[in-house]
Structure 1
Amino acid sequence: MDPVIVVGAGPVGLTLALALARQDVPAVVLDEGPGKDEVRPARTVVLREDTAALLERLTGVALGDHGVRWAGWRSVRRKQVIGEIAFDEGDPAAPLHIAQHVLTTALRAAIAEEPRVKIAVDSRLDSIEQERSGVAAHTRGPQGIWWRGSYLVGCDGPRSTVRKLQDIRFPGRTAVERHAVAALRVELPLEGRALLHRMPPWRSSGPSAGEVTARPLPDGVWRLDWLLPPGKELVTPEIVVARIRETLTGWTGESTPAYDLLDTGVHTVHHRLARRWRAGRVFVAGDAAHLLGALGTQGLDEGLRDADNLAWKLATAWHNGPHEALLNSYQTERRAAVAARLRAADQVLPVLRGSGGLRHYVPGAARGHDALLTDGHLGRGPVGRPGSYADSPLAPRQLEGEITVETPVGAPVADVRVTAEDGSFVQLRDRMGRGALLVVLIAPGTGVWDRKHWMSAGVMPRLAAAVTALPHRAELLVAETYPGAPAHSVLLVRPDGHLVTALSGVRPADLYAAAEATLGGAVKEEEREKKEAEAGSGAR
């Protein structure tokens, strides 16, 4: 079968290609550039716990060694500290700040060792043709040839050629926010903590500086962002240098400390959402499908979640034949998740950025505004947290044995330690992204017993038979505990780490129905009868 064609070699496209390869699906990445990324210290990304874990799993690189996990977060208004959060060393919940070129270099290095992925450089897409059995893409330039694929995914950014060729509308708002950006090496009294400073007491000689953030990078480098007023005023180098000097002086309380200016730029935030994310065998993901980033949120996070969501569905279709309900669920789930964040940001923006309004007469409004901004920067609350797929068309309905745990159905599962089938102890997240469903038994005490004893005791033989009978490849894992889950409960987890259901005990019929729903609907009747017969034989 033909490979999946990925258009675009940014972080999302490279992540998708690697995620497909890890599920034994070949991919071709069409890179319109020369295969190297420009080193821009001021172009950085902040990764949350789930997206950082995804990239570390795919690349095998400890990204914390190449970026900085924040030691904490501080929110200041004028001269008053409004809020402060500390993160323990090694806490995976601490946001990870890393230069984008470092990230793409790690992805490219992993792809270089992956025989299932080919990167075609200097390959600019100019046409797409779809057929019933596949898709063809034509590139111009030195690699001006036709590429044949099973599916095609446009990860080619805000000006996506794929989106335009498929005539997909991309409505939204332009220039929601603008920021002047600088990366500089300097010693600041922040001790590795990120800072949000609203309404700083110093005066600016240029456009009003109502908000500035500082985020640490390795080797004493900091990225500083100044919120610019609405409009299109030119941000000159002189204005940026003036901002740097007055900000550093304001934070250190003395004359401007010595600093080394590495890079500058202007970052403009747009809010847009594609009308469709699928057109036959063609999909869009990342900035080609959505743009967001106001109030400290990170658009790349959502692009990486797109790749994680789509990879296992494409892999399932590639190996087993297309299932329209499963493939359609990519658009339904991911578009709804991003739309919810955009709606939340659009509702908050007039309050936070407008002049006057609620801040003048609602007690505690300023503190509430800072809390909303903190949520955006830390990936929490309606503005910042990862999306949940509770209303997904893949969600099972009316399971008799379903119970409630701390993780809501459709949300990412907690990363607990589990015992794999070979007896090794691993983290649950380490088993994700392999294309298999994960079945987790909560069995206190099993950690102190050798696997050969508990695999043949209690509910394990019946559960193992039920897992074997599922309509999709599944891996059986055992956890001593899981937040809110009673002993002997069973969790079913999707390949991308979202909870399908939690069941009270071993219930083969419920487990099968939930797995079937996760694949987009019923499997063939003869397959069902065969699987159920195998399950019954195994249970005896």
Structure 2
Amino acid sequence: MDPVIIVGAGPVGLTLALALARQEVPSMVLDEGPGKDEQRSARTVVLREDTAALVDRLAGFPVSEAGFRWAGWRSMRRKQVMREISLGAGDSGSRGAVGSGSGSVSRSGSRAAEGSRGADGSAEAEEYVSPLHIAQHALTGALREAIVHERLIKVAVNSRLDSIEQETSGVSAHTRGPNGTWWHGSYLVGCDGPRSTVRKLQDIRFPGRTAVERHAVAALRTELPWPGEALLHRMPPWRTLGPSAGEVTARPLADDAWRLDWLLPPGKDLVTPDLLMARVRETLAGWSGGSTPAYELLDTGVHTVHHRLARRWRAGRVFLAGDAAHLLGAVGTQGLDEGLRDADNLAWKLALAWHHGPHEALLDSYQVERRAVVAARLRAADHALPLLRGGGGLRSYVPGSARGHDALLTDGHLGRGPLGAPGAYATSPLAPPRAESEAPVDTAPGAPVIDVRVTAEDGSFVRLRDRLGRGVLLVVLIAPGTGVWERKHWVTAGIMPRLAAAVTALPHPAELLVAENYPGAAAHTVLLVRPDGHLVTALSGVRPADLYAAAEATLGGPAKAEATAGTA
């Protein structure tokens, strides 16, 4: 069977190619450029914990090593965020922390929160992992390095797409350039950015809003009073440059470098070099007690945020992903993070169709699930923008409203709440019918599972996320006490033989794992998890019929012989 054609060699396209290769699906990546990426220190990305784990799995080494090899990973902690926000905009010591960290990376690439504040201001312990920050060229470089060693991935550089033809059994793409030719594939995925040629050739509309926010950006090397902390300063008291010099964000990069973002006022006023340098000096002086510390300017730019959502993400055998399908990024939302989730969602569905023939309900679910999540994120940002940026109104009169708005913005940067938390496929067409044996756990059906330690089939202890992305379903039995005994002592005891038989009988390959505990789960709860890490259902005990029905629904229902690919 022909490979999957991936148009675009950015982080989303490369991630999709690697995810398909992990499931034994070949791909051809059409790269418009020369196969190298411009190194821009001011162009960075923020990844949530689970998408960072996805890249770790695909790149083939843990985050702890990535801190050295990728020259940019940072582990950050959410520490005293609410207390620091509540100091007030007029206090020269006030700053809302986006996250803070030690500057070192633990084995898991993350650190737990310490001493955060509850809604009533009291201290409370909170287990939380903040997002990771990395230069985009470093991320892309790491993915390119991983692809070099993949026999199932081919890359064609200097290949600009100009035509697509769909056929009954596949799709053909023509590229121009030094190696202009026709490429034949089973499916085609457009990961070719905001100006997507794939989207235009399929005549898919891309409505939305232009220039929702603009930020002046500078990457520089300096010493700040809070090493390793990422900071959000809503209303700096030093604002000699006027109201337009408000809200500044600082995020640490590798080698004592920082990325600073200043929110610009609405309009198209030119950001001159002199104005940008004045912002740099004023901000650094404000954070350093009045005198500007020594700094080395590395890169500058203006980042304009657009909000757009493609009408369709599928047209027959052609799909859209990443910026080709959606643009977002205001008030802490992260577009690339969502693009990686697109790739993770689509990869296992394309792999199943590639190996076993097209299953239209399963392929259609990609658009339904991912478009709904991104649309919800865009709606949340649109609702938040008037509160956070408009000023006046209720914010001026309701006590505590500003603090709540600050927390909303901070949570967006931290990957929490409606602006930042990973989306759940609560209304997915792949959701199984409700069963009487359903059991409550702290993860809602359709949401990403929590990463816990599990015992694999070979008896080794691994993280649950380490078993994702291989195209198989995961069945997790919650069995307290099994962690202290070797697997050979309990694998044939109790309910294990019956559960093992039920897993073997499922309509798709599945791996049986055992966990000592899972948040909110009682003993003998059985979790069914999709290949992309979203919970299908939790069942009380071994219920073979309910487990089979849930697995079948996850695959799009009973398979049907279909001669042609459908459209969304």
* Shorter-chain TM-score range: over 0.9
Partner of 1:4: 4
Aligned-pair distance for 1:365? 1.4
Q: Distance in 1 between matches of 2:373 and 2:560?
A: 31
Partner of 1:334: 370
Q: Percent identity at matched positions?
A: 78
Partner of 1:381: 417
Q: Could you tell me which amino acid in structure 2 is paired with residue 326 of structure 1?
A: L
Q: Distance in 2 between matches of 1:237 and 1:376?
A: 30
Q: Could you tell me which amino acid in structure 2 is paired with residue 143 of structure 1?
A: N
1:54-65 to structure 2, matched below 5 A, reads 54-61=54-61, 62=63, 63-65=66-68
CA contact (8 A) 2:96 2:234 kept: no
Would you say how many aligned residue pairs link Structure 1 and Structure 2? 525
Q: Could you tell me which amino acid in structure 2 is paired with residue 24 of structure 1?
A: E
CA contact (8 A) 1:208 1:229 kept: yes
Aligned-pair distance for 1:68? 1.3
Aligned-pair distance for 1:72? 4.0
Of the structure 1 ranges 248-257 and 61-70, higher mean CA displacement relative to structure 2 is found in 61-70
Q: Distance in 2 between matches of 1:488 and 1:81?
A: 49
- Out of 183, 186, 209, the position equivalent to 2:245 is 209
1:316-465 to structure 2, matched below 5 A, reads 316-465=352-501
| Residues 507 and 383 of structure 1: CA distance in aligned 2, closer, same or farther (over 3 Å) | same
The superposition leaves residues 250-299 of structure 1 with CA deviations (integer Å, 9 ceiling, x where unpaired) of: 10013211000000000000000000000000000000000000002210
Uncovered stretches (5+) of structure 2, i.e. residues with no partner: 113-128, 562-568
Q: Distance in 2 between matches of 1:342 and 1:420?
A: 39
Q: Distance in 1 between matches of 2:27 and 2:458?
A: 30
Partner of 2:260: 224
Partner of 1:81: 94
Q: Distance in 1 between matches of 2:474 and 2:241?
A: 58
Q: Could you tell me which amino acid in structure 2 is paired with residue 20 of structure 1?
A: L
Partner of 2:540: 504
- Out of 292, 297, 315, the position equivalent to 1:256 is 292
Of the structure 1 ranges 308-317 and 205-214, higher mean CA displacement relative to structure 2 is found in 205-214
Q: Distance in 2 between matches of 1:198 and 1:110?
A: 40
Matched residue SS, 1:383: helix
Q: Distance in 2 between matches of 1:300 and 1:375?
A: 18
1:38 aligns with 2:74: no
1:24 aligns with 2:24: yes
CA contact (8 A) 1:133 1:150 kept: yes
Q: Distance in 2 between matches of 1:261 and 1:459?
A: 63
Matched residue SS, 1:132: coil
The superposition leaves residues 331-385 of structure 1 with CA deviations (integer Å, 9 ceiling, x where unpaired) of: 0000000000100000110111113222111111111111011111001101111
1:271 aligns with 2:307: yes
Partner of 1:287: 323
Aligned-pair distance for 1:447? 1.5
The superposition leaves residues 143-190 of structure 1 with CA deviations (integer Å, 9 ceiling, x where unpaired) of: 200000000000000000000000000000000000000000000011
CA contact (8 A) 2:479 2:517 kept: yes
- Out of 104, 107, 111, the position equivalent to 1:91 is 111
Q: Could you tell me which amino acid in structure 2 is paired with residue 45 of structure 1?
A: V
Aligned-pair distance for 1:453? 2.1
1:111 aligns with 2:147: yes
Partner of 2:566: none
Q: Distance in 2 between matches of 1:471 and 1:453?
A: 29
1:302 aligns with 2:338: yes
Uncovered stretches (5+) of structure 1, i.e. residues with no partner: 526-540
TM-score (norm 1): 0.95
Q: Distance in 2 between matches of 1:450 and 1:373?
A: 47
Q: Could you tell me which amino acid in structure 2 is paired with residue 306 of structure 1?
A: D
Partner of 2:121: none
CA contact (8 A) 1:181 1:264 kept: yes
Q: Distance in 2 between matches of 1:226 and 1:253?
A: 19
- Out of 70, 92, 97, the position equivalent to 2:76 is 70
CA contact (8 A) 2:332 2:419 kept: no
Partner of 1:196: 232
Q: Distance in 1 between matches of 2:101 and 2:135?
A: 21
1:244 aligns with 2:244: no
Matched residue SS, 1:429: helix
CA RMSD of superposed structures (Å): 1.5
CA contact (8 A) 2:475 2:528 kept: yes
Q: Distance in 1 between matches of 2:283 and 2:164?
A: 50
Matched residue SS, 1:500: strand
CA contact (8 A) 1:401 1:507 kept: yes
Matched residue SS, 2:528: strand
TM-score (norm 2): 0.90
CA contact (8 A) 1:78 1:197 kept: no
CA contact (8 A) 2:101 2:229 kept: no
Aligned-pair distance for 1:450? 1.9
